[in-house]
């Protein structure tokens, strides 16, 4: 059974940083591109970032470019998102999500339960 378990969220002050993690199990992690998608509670979904299966290529939404960094450790079946210079508008649930096929031109076939990041002074 595919499982994606996010962690690392919490309350952080504006300008602060966090490192979000996603532990993957139930599939061969190194074969899949992965994504981070966020959702303001009660609102819609916003794609944040993608990374190819090898980690060679990464992609970011304009709203987070230069502040967030996606990475992965295939040996540890883990996905990461370093979020820095946080703003109030970054407050959201962050989901780890698996791409069905590649980092481009792919739907997302499995999602975690999310980790909440709250940016507030």
Partner 1 sequence: EIVLTQSPATVSLSPGDRVTLSCGASQSITSNFLAWYQQKPGLGPRLLIYDASTRATGTPDRFSGWGTGTDFTLTIDGVEPEDFAVYYCQQYGSSPPITFGPGTKVEIK
**Cα–chain-centroid distance for residue 93?**
10
Task: Please state whether 114 falls in left (phi above 0), alpha (psi between -120 and 50) or beta.
Answer: left
Q: Which of residues 54 and 113 has its CB atom nearest to partner 1 in the complex?
A: 113
The residue count for binding partner 1 (CB under 8 A) is 26
Q: Which of residues 76 and 113 has its CB atom nearest to partner 1 in the complex?
A: 113
Q: Is 66 in the site for partner 1 (CB under 8 A)?
A: no
Among 7, 76, 104, 120, binds partner 1 (CB under 8 A): 104
Contact 121, 102 (CB under 8 A): no
Binding mask 29-48 for partner 1 (x = CB under 8 A): ------x-x------xxxx-
Q: Is 94 helix (H, G, I), strand (E, B) or coil?
A: strand
Q: Is 110 in the site for partner 1 (CB under 8 A)?
A: yes
Q: Is 23 in the site for partner 1 (CB under 8 A)?
A: no
> Between residue 79 and residue 98, which ones bind partner 1 under the rule CB under 8 A?
95, 97
Q: Which residues of 6-20 are buried (b: 16+ CB within 10 A; e: fewer)?
A: bebbeebeeeeebeb
Q: Which of residues 16 and 118 has its CB atom nearest to partner 1 in the complex?
A: 118
Query: Regarding beta strands 10-12 and 115-119, do their DSSP bridges make them parallel or antiparallel, or are they unpaired?
Result: parallel
């Amino acid at each position: 059974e595919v499982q994606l378990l996010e962690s690392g969220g919490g309350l952080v002050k504006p300008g602060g940083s966090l490192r979000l993690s996603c532990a993957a199990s139930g599939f061969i992690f190194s074969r899949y591109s992965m994504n981070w998608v966020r959702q303001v509670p009660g609102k819609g979904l916003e794609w944040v970032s993608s990374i190819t299966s090898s980690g060679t290529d990464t992609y970011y939404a304009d709203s987070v470019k230069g502040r967030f960094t996606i990475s992965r450790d295939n040996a540890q079946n883990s996905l990461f998102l370093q979020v820095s210079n946080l703003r109030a508008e970054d407050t959201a649930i962050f989901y780890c999500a698996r791409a069905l096929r590649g980092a481009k031109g792919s739907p997302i076939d499995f999602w975690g339960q999310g980790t909440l990041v709250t940016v507030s002074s």
